Structures are given as C-alpha cells and as structure tokens.
Chains A and B, each alone.
Chain A
C-alpha cells in the first residue's frame, strides 16, 4: 500500500479581484513519486504551490502534508518541506555558500550538519567550484541549480518545484531533469512540480494532473493519459502490393483500427513497439514485403488538446507575475 504524503481537499483561492485562481481541487500525492501539475500560465499552478507551501492562505479547503494542515500547522509544514520557487530567490550579493548557510540557519539546521551538507549539495548540483563566487556572476543554469540546492538544505522529504526549467536552454533543461531524477532516487524524495512544458511532464513525472482555469481536469500517469487517446500509430507500406491487407491486419490482437491512405496503411494499435515485429513477421510469412514502417506515440500535446480543447497557451496573469517571470527568463539566458 503506497502512502499518501500530500492530501489536498477542495482547495480554493479567490483573489481580491474575484479571480478564481484555484477552484476546489482535490488530489493526493503518493510517497516517493514525482507529481506534475501541467497547465498553461495562469491556470492556477503557482497559486496551488504557494498555498501548499503556506505562502498564501487558501480561501477555502485544506491540504495536509505529513498530516500537518497548511491552515493550522503552517510552521510545521514550512519546516518539513523544501521549496524551489519560479523566481531566482538567492541573494545576488552573497556567495552561493553564504546563501546556503543563511538558509540552513533559517531552517534550524545545526552549523556542523550544515557545513557538510552544503558541501554535499553543492557538489550534487556541480557548483562546488563556484561556491565562493557571488551569485550575480552565475549563469542562468547555475542559478537554477543553486536554487535546487538551496531548496534541499533542510533535507526535505517533500520538495516543491515551481517551473524548474522556465527559460532555460535545451541542454540546461536536460541537466536539471537529471538532477531532479537523482534527487528522487538518492534522497527518496516526493516531488511536486509544476510545468507548462509537455515534454518535461512526460519524461519526469510519475503522475500528471492537467489543470486548467483552476480546476483539475484529469490525473493519471503520462502513459495512461496518452493511451487514453486510443493508442499508438503504426504506418507501413508494402512493396508491389497486389491485394489489400487491411483485413489481415485487423485480425492481429492489439490492432484497433486500420485505415488505408493511398498506398500507406495507418494502424491505431495498443503498443506499437511490441506489435511492429509481429506485424512484419506475419506479413512476410504471407509473402508481403514491408518497405517502410514508422511508429509514433501520442504526445502529451495531443492529450492536452483532447482534455482542454486547446493547446497550451499563454494566458493573462497579473503584471507582477509577468514581471517576475520575465526577470527569471532574462536572468536564465545570461
């Protein structure tokens, strides 16, 4: 039986301007998983993280992290979770080491433990050589890695990551993903992350919640979400084709649907990679020669489109959020 670490019940946040940022969401996060909140800007992802990390209080509803209520035991929640916000929050005028020492003090980590832990964490994110440099000399990727290390200084069992790769270039994003996976493995951490990058949710998350207009539309594993679209696509072409093989193909278990577009067959199947070899063997045994075969899996893009009725879009949010996001993006590129 897998334990739930975070229990969110009917959580809502209505802002002063009567914007319903989060609208009665209910979900659980299991121990040791990477749980992703996927949605466009303004969908309520950051508001949810801010409520779960007690930065803002909910209008109604409650959430429990290790049985600590975010409403009643805010300081216990704060002491036991780690947060890596969307913005760069490290003090630019201090060195990475001093930033981490400060945070260790604020989390009540004793100096002796803190000193070894900081060295360990900085080496985890490969910043050991830059530890004594002021943060304002860091590149965007380095700053993001430092934020990760800072978020881990209290050795949290639950880590909140808000858009961990916002504005980063492709290589740095891949590097950050590696660190996140390392954290999950080495520290057996439960990670709650938000993202509006579909590939990120797909490759990192064990389960994904699709959120739009403050409501959760669907929660499942990325694989199930994609499977729910009806399966993978196999496209194949047969050399000097004399007879239509549609009926033959339909008989194979796992094939749901066969369509012929000109000279190519388009099959909707359950699991393309295991089915493709069988297809080839079967067709060859019947005297057909396969000259072209392509497999494609549905992406979360299509899943998102399916459930929300549109692709991920930029949505209006307040000017301060946009300002801070632009700042993060600008710094990320430096």
Chain B
C-alpha cells in the first residue's frame, strides 16, 4: 500500500465508490438473476389478482346483482346506491385499484425484509468478516444494505404498478407528479423498513430465527394497515395500531396521488411522519452498526 493509497481512504470519492461497490454487489445478485426477480414478483401479483379480482365488491353491489323484493328499483338507482356504498367505504368504485396501491406497499415491505436478511448470510458465509478487515467504514456496510433494499423495493413496486395497470387499475387520476410523490413515500417506507430489518439481522448468526421474526412482523404490519381494508371500518383497537403504522401513511399518500382519494391527514404531515420514521431507524441502525457488527 503506497502512501497515496492509504491517504485515499478518507476521501469522499473513496467513500462514494466503496459504498456503491458494496451496494452494487448485492444488487447484481438480483438484476443478474432474472428468475429471482420474477419469483419475487409472484407473491404480490398473485395477491393482487386473487384479492383484487376475487373480492369483486363492484360485482356484488352493482349491475343489478341485487334487488329488494317488492320494491323493484330500477337498475340505475341500484347502481348509484352500490357505487355510493363503494365510494364511501373505499374512496373509489374500483376495489382492485384500492388494493393495487396497498400492494405497492406490500412489495416494499417484503423486499426490504429479504434484503435486510441478507446480512445474516454474509455473516454466516464469512463475507462479512472479510468486509470488516477492509478499511470501509462500518456505517457503509449498513448503508449499502439499506440502499440495496431501497433500490430493489422501488423497482419491484414499479413493476407491480405496471402489472396493476395492465390488469385494469383505474388510471384516471394518474399524473407524472402524482406517481413521483407516491414513489417518494414508498422510498421513505423502503428506507425505514430496510433499516429496521437490517438492524434486526445485524447481530444474528441464525437466519431461521430471523425469518421467523420477519414473518411475525411483516404480515401484521400489512393487515394492521389500510392495505386491504379502510381503517374507518376496523374495530377501534385495530384502528389505533393502523393509524400509527407507517405502511398506512404510505398507502394513504399513494391513494391520494394515484387514485384521488382524499386522505384523512394532510400529505405534508404524512410525509413528515414517514421522514421521521425513515431517519430514526436509519440513524439507529448506523449508530449500532459499529457495536453489533463486531464480534
């Protein structure tokens, strides 16, 4: 090692390049493996197709699917009643569109979780030990994992959105700005979730426990949010949780800018909440990285 090289390890360009290299190493396994990319999309798409299409609320409430015996109401009146019911409950007459935005958050939570987990494998296969013998700052190792989760999550979310549109998601309210804002919210969610799962996996040597913890967290996170069902229709104890769940905030922002559904809180407050969530978890995992990555 020459003098110039050892000086170089404190420069910004070194920090940026080493951080990118370590992030790209994880990303390569994903974008160079199309099968993996495809498989990871199956779950949200299946959910989208099964729930979104099977829970055919529009079919239940409209198109003369019901009538009240004796009254013989005209179909147009029934349709109006059905659509009003749907709009009052979901904010839109298309439950599929309602769920599609929920699925964007779903894929972000799951992808962040799996990416965070990968640090357990790195530890187990000795790669982490090797990393720790290089001069790269400990924080970079953690930030690299978080960025990996963020990039994967957003790319997967974009693919899910395209599939949802192909499966007849309502695009009447779509705008470039709206999509960007929705993805801004998804970015913050992905950052916070990746930090959370990296943090949980930092000190672990056992991926089975990690998987159990992750599953324990991820599904309730989704069901205790507005992903599948509006919060207003939930029992009050569930509402209490769903109302502080960052997943709910993300979806509320997405439904507002993609579907024109008025959120219960302002977009600004929702973004502030998500920003604090992402910054807090990101900071905690970076601060703890030094302590937890060692022995």
Q: Which residues of A contact B (CB under 8 A)?
A: 53-57, 75-76, 78-81, 83, 85, 87-94, 98, 101-103, 105-110, 150, 154-157, 320, 324
Main secondary structure on A side of the interface with B = loop
B9 and A157 contact, CB distance less than 8 A: no
Q: Known contacts A78-B135, A88-B126, A107-B135: does B5 contact A93 (CB below 8 Å)?
A: no
Q: Known contacts A75-B135, A94-B25, A320-B205: does B5 contact A89 (CB below 8 Å)?
A: no
Residues of B192-220 contacting chain A, CB below 8 A = 205
B1 and A156 contact, CB distance less than 8 A: yes
A157 and B1 contact, CB distance less than 8 A: yes
A108 and B127 contact, CB distance less than 8 A: no
Bitwise, B1-32 to A at CB < 8 A (1) or not (0) is 11001101101001001101110010011000
Q: Which residues of B contact A (CB under 8 A)?
A: 1-2, 5-6, 8-9, 11, 14, 17-18, 20-22, 25, 28-29, 125-127, 129-137, 205, 294-295
Nearest Cβ distance between residue A215 and chain B, in whole angstroms? 22
Nearest Cβ distance between residue A64 and chain B, in whole angstroms? 16
Q: Which of A80, A92, A108 has the most CB of B within 10 A?
A: A108
How far does the alpha carbon of A101 sit from the alpha carbon of B25 in the complex, in Å?
Answer: 10
| Partner among B6, B25, B125, B294 whose Cβ is within 8 Å of the Cβ of A79 | B6
A56 and B295 contact, CB distance less than 8 A: yes
A324 and B133 contact, CB distance less than 8 A: no
Q: Which of B5, B28, B294 has the most CB of A within 10 A?
A: B5
A106 and B28 contact, CB distance less than 8 A: no
A79 and B135 contact, CB distance less than 8 A: yes
How far does the alpha carbon of A70 sit from the alpha carbon of B166 in the complex, in Å?
Answer: 59
Nearest Cβ distance between residue B137 and chain A, in whole angstroms? 8
B21 and A105 contact, CB distance less than 8 A: yes
**Which residues of B lie under 8 Å from residue A90 when comparing CB positions?**
127, 130
Q: Which of B1, B18, B29, B129 has the most CB of A within 10 A?
A: B1
**Which residues of B lie under 8 Å from residue A54 when comparing CB positions?**
132-133
Nearest Cβ distance between residue A28 and chain B, in whole angstroms? 21
B134 and A78 contact, CB distance less than 8 A: yes
Nearest Cβ distance between residue B165 and chain A, in whole angstroms? 33
Q: Known contacts A102-B25, A155-B1: does B133 contact A78 (CB below 8 Å)?
A: yes
B129 and A108 contact, CB distance less than 8 A: no
**Which residues of A lie under 8 Å from residue B6 when comparing CB positions?**
76, 79-80, 108
Q: Known contacts A87-B126, A94-B25: does B133 contact A53 (CB below 8 Å)?
A: yes
**Which residues of B lie under 8 Å from residue A83 when comparing CB positions?**
130, 133
How far does the alpha carbon of A103 sit from the alpha carbon of B11 in the complex, in Å?
Answer: 17
Q: Known contacts A57-B294, A108-B8, A157-B1: does B18 contact A85 (CB below 8 Å)?
A: no
A-B contact pairs, 18 of them (CB 8 A): A56-B295, A75-B9, A79-B5, A79-B135, A80-B6, A81-B133, A87-B125, A87-B126, A87-B129, A88-B125, A92-B125, A93-B28, A105-B18, A105-B21, A106-B22, A108-B5, A108-B17, A150-B130
Nearest Cβ distance between residue A86 and chain B, in whole angstroms? 8
How far does the alpha carbon of A297 sit from the alpha carbon of B17 in the complex, in Å?
Answer: 54
How far does the alpha carbon of A53 sit from the alpha carbon of B133 in the complex, in Å?
Answer: 6
B28 and A94 contact, CB distance less than 8 A: yes
B132 and A55 contact, CB distance less than 8 A: yes
Q: Known contacts A75-B135, A106-B135: does B129 contact A98 (CB below 8 Å)?
A: no
How far does the alpha carbon of A236 sit from the alpha carbon of B286 in the complex, in Å?
Answer: 72
Chain A, Cβ-Cβ closest to B136: A106
Assuming A89-B130, A107-B1, what are 8 further A-B pairs, CB within 8 angstroms? Answer: A56-B294, A87-B125, A88-B125, A91-B25, A106-B18, A106-B21, A107-B134, A150-B130
B127 and A89 contact, CB distance less than 8 A: yes
How far does the alpha carbon of A18 sit from the alpha carbon of B28 in the complex, in Å?
Answer: 42
How far does the alpha carbon of A110 sit from the alpha carbon of B18 in the complex, in Å?
Answer: 11
How far does the alpha carbon of A313 sit from the alpha carbon of B286 in the complex, in Å?
Answer: 42
A98 and B135 contact, CB distance less than 8 A: no
How far does the alpha carbon of A241 sit from the alpha carbon of B22 in the complex, in Å?
Answer: 77
